[in-house]
Amino acid sequence: MTDENVSRSPRTVAVTAGRPQNENDPLNASIVLASNFQSTGDYARTHGTSTWAALETAVGELEGGQCLSFATGMAAASAILFALNPSVVVVPSVSYLGVRALLGDMQDHGHVRVVSVDIVDTDAVTKAMNEASAQVGAERVVLWIETPTNPTLDEAELEKLCIAANAINVRTVVDSTFASPIGQQPLTLGASVVMHSGTKFIGGHSDLMIGLTLTNQQDIFEKLSRARVVQGATPGALESFLALRGLRTLPLRYEAASKNADEICRRLKAHTAIEWAKNVGPMLSYIVKGGAQAADKVCASTLMIITATSLGGVETTMERRQKYAGDAHVNPGLIRMSVGIEDVEDIWSDLEKALAS
Ligand SMILES: Cc1ncc(COP(=O)(O)O)c(C=O)c1O
């Protein structure tokens, strides 16, 4: 049972939150396979289901806000932009290509103007927010912060940016996918909305797609709920169940993978084939000397580490990012690695042999 008077650690919240509460209930939330509910007139897309609610309660408790689940991370991003209805979005120039593609299309359709910024340059971001606010009014401006960024792992000064935005009533959205609810809790720093691709660390097993939004502002929560109803990008029942099951071990997985990534990064920095390496938690990016060809060779030469595009699973995956049109501006030799929870010596042995190739 959740005792709201006790402040518990994230490990405990991850295990206990969102469980059924009544006597003789099953221990875990059930997979509710229903679109329609008897007598009440409830309909899943409009009213939600108890499977979604269990996941939303648990993620909400970890982040300190009210949570809604969506079909994918991109569905969550779309719902946020629909709900906040900005006319200008200030966005990191190097960040997840999917969100930048969505914003690019919205701009092409005349719905928004996109202002790209270097998200680590707090003064430049503040200036861009101020200029946009002076032009269209602060209530029509959204600052979209992704931190750490995909794929270069840039880290924004999150608290400073939230303070600067709140001072002029600009709403902030934080894509916290790479940090997960364990690495940072942006709502506690003043963010208006947080989003996660739950497909990544929250699910944690590369077997589902789901998205999550969080806010502690009631008016924004209502707008996000409305966006889910009218856009219809609801999560699947099995996906919600699996995401909650994944969440139960998120703190342990995130800690173990971060420890592995710290060690792999330390060794990469000392390796003669490596130009640059950085990790934030389990996410690690490194640049191989010799550009695209050398980096492709490394990816093709591992035996255990999987070349794959997604991230945040128990297994170590990696890929060269500049091959995608949306990441064309990234260093050609940059490999983004999502470090898993295998034995660190096995990860290193595989990578070291691939680097020697
Ligand atoms: C930072 C970030 N945000 C959002 C998304 C989109 O999530 P999804 O693939 O679940 O739609 C991704 C996917 O890679 C991501 O890396």
With the most atoms of ligand 1 within 8 angstroms of its CB, the residue from 69, 74, 176 to mutate is 74
Q: What is the pLDDT of residues 102-130, one digit of tens each?
A: 999 999 999 999 999 999 999 999 999 99
pTM for this predicted structure:
0.97
First CA to last CA across the chain, in angstroms?
54
Residues with CB under 6 A from ligand 1: 72-74, 96, 98, 146, 150, 175, 177-178, 197, 199, 209, 211
Question: In whole numbers, what is the pLDDT of the chain averaged over residues?
Answer: 97
What are the respective helix, strand and coil percentages of the chain, to the nearest 5?
45, 15, 40
Please give the Cα distance from 254 to 312 (Å, whole number).
9
pLDDT in tens, 60-74: 999 999 999 999 999
**Each residue of 39-52: pLDDT tens digit?**
999 999 999 999 99
If pLDDT is split at 50, 70 and 90, which confidence band does 1 have? very low
Provide the percentage of residues in the chain whose pLDDT is more than 70: 98
- The pLDDT tens digits of the residues spanning 177-202 come to 999 999 999 999 999 999 999 999 99
Ligand 1, atom 16, lies closest to the CA of 96
Mutate to test the pocket of ligand 1, among 95, 184, 199, 202 (most ligand atoms within 8 A of CB): 199
> If you take atom 13 of ligand 1, which residue's CA is the nearest one?
197
Q: Whose CA is nearest to atom 12 of ligand 1?
A: 197
Cis amide leading into 151 (omega within 30)? yes
From residue 206, give the alpha-carbon distance in Å to each of 181, 200, 316, 319: 18, 7, 11, 15
pLDDT digits (tens, 9 = 90+) for 200-259: 999 999 999 999 999 999 999 999 999 999 999 999 999 999 999 999 999 999 999 999
Among protein residues, the one with the nearest Cα to ligand 1's atom 14 is 310
Q: pLDDT at position 3, please? A: 54
Q: Which residues pair with 113 in a beta bridge?
A: 88
Instruction: Tell me the pLDDT band of 7, cut-offs 50, 70 and 90.
Output: confident
Q: Give tens-digit pLDDT for 304-314.
A: 999 999 999 99
Residue 14: pLDDT band (50, 70, 90) is very high
What local confidence, expressed as pLDDT, does residue 158 receive? Answer: 98
Interval between CA 209 and ligand 1 midpoint (Å): 9
Closest residue to atom 8 of ligand 1, CA basis = 73
Q: Where in the chain is the domain with CATH 3.40.640.10?
A: 10-248
Domain with CATH 3.90.1150.10 in the chain: 251-356
Considering only CA atoms, which residue is closest to atom 6 of ligand 1?
73
The CATH architecture that domain 10-248 belongs to is 3-Layer(aba) Sandwich (3.40)
Would you say domain 251-356 falls under CATH 3.40.50.720? Answer: no
Q: Which atom of ligand 1 is nearest to the CA of 210?
A: 10
Q: Is the distance from CB of 69 to CB of 198 less than 8 angstroms? A: yes
Backbone angles phi, psi at 277, to 5 degrees: -150, 145
Closest CA to 319 of 343, 339, 295: 295
